[in-house]
Each structure stands twice: as structure tokens, then as C-alpha cells.
Amino acid sequence: MRLSFALLLLAVLILVSVPAYANPIKYEFSGYNVLSGYNLPAITVNIAYTAPSFIVTDVAFPEGGWQDCSAYPNPPYSCGSGGFNPNKLWYGTLTYDSIGIAILGLNNSLWFSFEAGTFSKLGTFDALPDPYQTGRIVISDVGANVPEPSTIALLGIGLVGLIGYRWKAGR
């Protein structure tokens, strides 16, 4: 009876301790908009952002997310807030994954659009064709999957319990 209980306890501990993996995703975007497009200033943007997982809802650029953002002529224009917008509605019908940047000094925003679902895949993707701007995003896995520390602790406790049971039963 005791042996079957110990084996059942070990089986439960092993099942509970199946490794959970953290999988951060890095987004690196670079874009350029020419001066004549949409009556906006010329703008060069470089953004690096690491998310806990794939971006599936709107995400504002965190403070420090800008690697570089320059608007010309500067002043009076500069880059303001911005963010990632997956599945953005375009004229109420089609959806795109977009990166938006507010231009301070103008009551306007600049959008770089990608095919819907781009933010949920690994790889290098170019923005949809536009005569006034270019953009590219690189989406990559940030590293090797590492088991959570609690998983290792649960497995260790289970093994210690099994060894202790065998030692006590052998005496």
C-alpha cells in the first residue's frame, strides 16, 4: 500500500513538474518616410522592443524603446509616442499589422503597415509597398528555452522523497 502511494505521489510530482518555458520575442524595426509623402516631415525610425510573447494586442512603445527617431526638419517636428497595432482596421474592412508613430508639431501619425499576422511570426518582413516610405521588421526568439526554477524544485523534492522512502523501507 505504501509503495503504491509513493509511486502515485512520484507520478503526480513528475506530471506537475513538466517544464514551463519562457519565450520572449524581440522586435527590431527600422523605417524611413520621405519628406514629400502625406505632407509629413522626413522621418527615420529605429525601434527595439522585447515582448514576453508574440504581440497580439496593441502595445505602446515603452520608454526607452526608441533606439533612434529623427524627423527632418527638426524643429519644429519630432517623434512622439507610438506603438504596435496588430490587426488594425484599414477603412473598416482589411486588417494589417501596423507600427504607428505620432509626429509632434503636426496633428498626424505615420503608419508602417505589414500583412495581417506578421507580428505573430518569426522572421524578417518588409512593410507593404508604399511610394513614400520603406520599413522592415525582424522578429526573433530571444534565446534558448529555460525551465522555470520551481519546476526543478518540484522534481528535486519528488526524487528526495522517493530516495527517503526507499532508504526507510530498506532498514
Bridge partners for 104 per DSSP: 78
pLDDT at position 64: 67
Which amino acid is it at 104?
L
What are the pLDDT digits (tens) for 101-126?
888 877 778 889 999 999 999 999 99
At 159 the pLDDT is 75
Tell me: pLDDT of 170 over 90. no
Q: What is the DSSP letter of 119?
A: G
Percentage with pLDDT > 90 across the chain: 26
The pLDDT assigned to 102 comes to: 86
Identify residue 105 by its one-letter amino acid code.
G
Q: Tell me what pLDDT residue 149 has.
A: 67
At residue 165, the pLDDT reads 77
Find out whether 167 and 19 touch, Cβ atoms under 8 Å: no
Q: State pTM to two decimals.
A: 0.67
| DSSP at 21 | B
29 CB-side CA count, 13 A: 29
